[in-house]
Structure 1
Amino acid sequence: MAGVTRQRPRRRSRRRRSAARRVTVASVYKEGYQQGYKQGVTAGRESFDTLFDGTSIIIPTYNKRDYLKLCIESIARHTDLPYEIIVIDNASTDGTAEYLQSISGQIRYRVLEQNHGFAGAVNQGLMMAKGSTILLLNNDTLVTPRWLDNMLQCLNSDSRIGMVGPVTNYISGEQRIDVPYESVDDMLPFAEAFNQCDPAKWQRTDRITGFCLLFRRELLERTGYFDEGYVVGNYEDDDYNIRVRLQGFELALARDTFIHHYGSISMKALGDQFMAVNNENERYFMAKWGNPHALVYEAREAALRMGDASAGWPPNGETGFYPSFVFVKGLGDTVYWISEGQRHPVAGTVQVPVIHLSQLELKRWPVGAQVAAVEAESTWRLVPAEPLTGTSALASAPDGTLYYVESGIRRRVASLHAAQAWGLLDKPQAVFPPETLMSLPEGLPVIAPIRVVQRL
């Protein structure tokens, strides 16, 4: 028609169409990411307890990125058997976190928000480990040809062997050997010739240092985590040695296996604080154990009297050295009453000491029937006139030795620290005639629970 101007439909500009596509792509990406994340979390939970037939190598580290890098590279170069590397960074400030992120496809790692010391970092790694065997390794080490093969052969040669360590150039005790090299560049030819598997060179010992320590997963499940009562570092490996030996396991040195150790790099960095840390940990060790070697002997004698002194005894691991008729709890709010080899959920509020344990320790007791708080607490407070089944009491021998009398069994309390740690000093103390107390059959000693902060 005349005078009428037709207008074409307006087209969206190219810029608007592009923006719309970006919005669509972004929303699809976000939705896909969320679905993938949920699936990943589900898969992770379902596979949490899945293990692999290999070795979890746990490396605690703090502010020594370059040493850590050399250590990890040496593992990749000289380890042919299946393994995983788990690095726990104790809040380093030297770029360690960025380095770990750059190799995240090759290792598993966790960066802690604060320094939890050697024991705290090791425990974090133990909670993450998936291997059938576990190896603790200092960050200032260089592993060498056949190092893991030789140590595993030593460990697997005898079920009585609980832990194995190598020899090195820098350490205290029996593990130190003289070496012919002066430079690390000359170390590998020496190690190559040295590391020839030879069972004749395997040696039983009473102490293995924690700079390189190999053991089975079953030992972890029996013995538990490292004691975080030791600040920063030192003595926590001695503590673990004692706990393993109490169960009848032996310690072995694979003297056919050498790894290089730069030597206490993190501890040296403490400078003037080193002696204060070392002295504090020594005090804690002595307060906890007193004479630990005598305790190991007494535990084995008690095991013989009970008819089994084999490695891996008692059947419930370290928990066999814990007292009965006490209240405990793990990560949750549930309080348990330990009695008759079971943990009984407690209904009601408990007014007496409740001891915090790790989940690894707690699960060694099967769950029993629920008990009322007032009933269990009444048993806890009872002062028996004579040792009876179903009762417990703290009693002193004429020489001052503390005993925990439990269902007619006399158990020596390892130390005053152990009595305090279990809240036994809060119990009314029984007064048994000395001849009655000392005539009771003697059971396993009572040792202190470890201090541990679970972070997973």
Structure 2
Amino acid sequence: MVAKISNPPWVSFQSAPTDVGLAAASGEYIVVLNNDTVVTAGWIKGLIRHLRDNKDVGIIGPITNNIGNEAKVSTRYSQIEDMHAESSEITRSRMGGGRNQYAGIFCVVFLRSTYEQIGGLCGEYGLGFFEDDDYCRRVQQNGMRAACAEDVFVHHHLSASFNKLGAEKKQALFEKNKAIYESKGERGLHTPIETYKQHILPLRPKLTSCAAEIIFCTETA
């Protein structure tokens, strides 16, 4: 079953549509996949396999062509048509490989039990930047690992939405959110902000009754 959820105008920060989808999902494994990605054959089975084989992993993502951390690998392709063959070469040489690393939430898989323990994304980061680092740190604070599957590749355009802000606003948002993230340090787990508690949590019983396997969350104008 596929369900489309259109969010109301008050949903103005990046984490809220994701949190609505998380609340509606009903499966054992939860997938977050941005709309600026192109997946490869077997990507979801590969990520789930790593979770099944490594019980201490709380969240896992793939390697990619474009990301601001060590999950980025060197690629030669310039056309999407060439991406699949090259990514197959890359992942074949890394089969079974994985490492501890914060996962970019452009593409991640985690267990429902992890979500129920950790909660949703932190809304303090507004449109985004550092919300994925925040989530991965919370995963670690709960005794689990954040990891990267080196034998799964997903193409990422990166910052497709952020680039619409313009360089100056984008940099200002980055610096603001960096300060928020660094201010938290190891002071403990994040408590959902009031907007999350007021709008997302009350929706969960209704959304979970949909029993949807795939959720598309969009923002309304």
TM-score band by shorter chain is 0.7 to 0.9
1:4-35 per-position Cα deviation (integer Å, ceiling 9, x unaligned): xxxxxxxxxxxxxxxxxxxxxxxxxxxxxxxx
Q: Helix, strand or coil: the match of 2:35?
A: coil
C-alpha displacement of 1:270: 1.1
1:236-285 per-position Cα deviation (integer Å, ceiling 9, x unaligned): 11111111001110122110111111111001111132122222212222
Q: How does 1:297-376 map to 2 (within 5 A)?
A: none
**What CA distance in whole angstroms lies between the structure 1 residues aligned with 2:90 and 2:112?**
28
Pairing partner for 1:449 from 164, 167, 191: 191
* Residue 119 of structure 2 is aligned to residue 224 of structure 1: yes
Contact 1:145 1:191 in 2 (8 A): no
Q: Tell me which residue corresponds to 2:207.
A: none
Same amino acid, percent of matched pairs: 28
C-alpha displacement of 1:117: 2.0
Q: Tell me which residue corresponds to 1:331.
A: none
Pairing partner for 1:143 from 36, 39, 48: 39
The ranges of structure 1 where at least 4 consecutive aligned residues each deviate by more than 3 angstroms after the TM superposition are 192-197
Amino acid across the alignment from 2:192: I
Q: Helix, strand or coil: the match of 1:117?
A: coil
Q: Helix, strand or coil: the match of 1:257?
A: strand
Q: Helix, strand or coil: the match of 1:165?
A: strand
Q: Tell me which residue corresponds to 1:252.
A: 147
* Residue 38 of structure 2 is aligned to residue 162 of structure 1: no
1:322-360 per-position Cα deviation (integer Å, ceiling 9, x unaligned): xxxxxxxxxxxxxxxxxxxxxxxxxxxxxxxxxxxxxxx
Q: Tell me which residue corresponds to 1:127.
A: 23
Q: How does 1:258-297 map to 2 (within 5 A)?
A: 258-271=153-166, 272-287=168-183, 289-290=184-185, 295=186
Q: What's the TM-score once normalised by structure 1's chain length? A: 0.41
1:33-65 per-position Cα deviation (integer Å, ceiling 9, x unaligned): xxxxxxxxxxxxxxxxxxxxxxxxxxxxxxxxx
Rg comparison, structure with higher value? 1
Q: What's the TM-score once normalised by structure 2's chain length? A: 0.82
Contact 1:145 1:195 in 2 (8 A): no
* Residue 7 of structure 2 is aligned to residue 109 of structure 1: no
Unaligned segments of structure 1, at least 5 residues: 1-83, 85-106, 296-413, 415-445
**What CA distance in whole angstroms lies between the structure 2 residues aligned with 1:278 and 1:185?**
33
Unaligned segments of structure 2, at least 5 residues: 204-221
C-alpha displacement of 1:448: 4.4
Distance 1:218 1:190, change over 3 A: same
Q: Tell me which residue corresponds to 1:188.
A: 84
Q: Helix, strand or coil: the match of 1:136?
A: strand
* Residue 136 of structure 2 is aligned to residue 203 of structure 1: no
Amino acid across the alignment from 1:192: S
Q: CA RMSD in A?
A: 1.7
